[in-house]
Amino acid sequence: MCRHLGWLGEPVSVASLVLDPPCGLRVQSYAPRRQKHGLINADGWGVGFFDAGGQERSDPGMGPEVRRWRSASPLWGDVSFASVAPALRSRCVVAAVRSATAGMPIEASASAPFRDGGWLLSHNGIVDRGVLPVSRVAESTVDSAVLAALIFERGLENLGDTIVEVGTADPGARLNILAANGSRLLATTWGDTLSVLRRADGVVLASEPYDDHPDWQDIPDRHLVEVSGDEVSITPLKGPS
């Protein structure tokens, strides 16, 4: 269910992360290599990024501007995005392609990344909405959007605890999260794949490697990942086996 990618580092084009790699998200939308659940990701896509010029805004305390582009159509057929993506540059990107859970609506608002203030968040997986005690209104009725609303409500500093709580309440849930605020990437592995690539100009977190570079490393299941600057920390999530 879905594939996602996060970038933190020097400004790069969105196309270089999402469209150009030989096995990037565009290819993963129709031919993922490591996806365990579902065959294609044709039910929408989304890209969120922090405006590289945002530091020059009149109020420096506001930080970079958050931008999003989401669609309910397959990424492989979006020629408008393909024409603009090379011109979009950012230090921090969250992107995803979607395979909708059975019975869930296919609409742009259901595609990650979801947003709360200065945070962007993607969910790769599935969860029973009945175990999500969220009080705020989600961007969509789909399970991923409701989970995102709960995580935002609890705070990203509590991401690990929230995932363990939800995973305990729904043993069948798959809870791979990827979130960013412009200066940090946070991710969890809970039932699906995630890999990290440390490049000279930054760090990539991705559901699956976008090429065959030997420096890709797989993250073990049930772990929390944090990227800050060029530092990557990986810690276990303690919960039921």
Mean pLDDT for the stretch of residues 179-199 = 97
Domain 3-236 in CATH: superfamily? Aminohydrolase, N-terminal nucleophile (Ntn) domain (3.60.20.10)
- What pLDDT is stored for residue 238 in this prediction? 85
Tokens of 37: 């659940």
Residues that are catalytic = 2
- What pLDDT is stored for residue 64 in this prediction? 80
- H or E element, residue 143: helix 143-154
Bridge partners, residue 180, by sequence: 120, 185
pLDDT at 227 over 90: yes
CB 85 within 8 A of CB 15: yes
Give me the residue spans of the domains in the chain.
3-236
Tens digit of each residue's pLDDT (9 = 90 or more) over 136-156: 999 999 999 999 999 999 999
Tens digit of each residue's pLDDT (9 = 90 or more) over 88-119: 999 999 999 999 988 899 999 999 999 999 99
Max Cα distance, the chain (Å): 50
CB 104 within 8 A of CB 142: yes
Q: What is the pTM of this model?
A: 0.94
Bridge partners, residue 94, by sequence: 6, 48
β-pair type (45-51, 66-71):
antiparallel
CA–CA distance, 179 with 5 (Å, rounded to integer): 10
β-pair type (45-51, 217-218):
unpaired
Tens digit of each residue's pLDDT (9 = 90 or more) over 80-92: 999 999 999 999 9
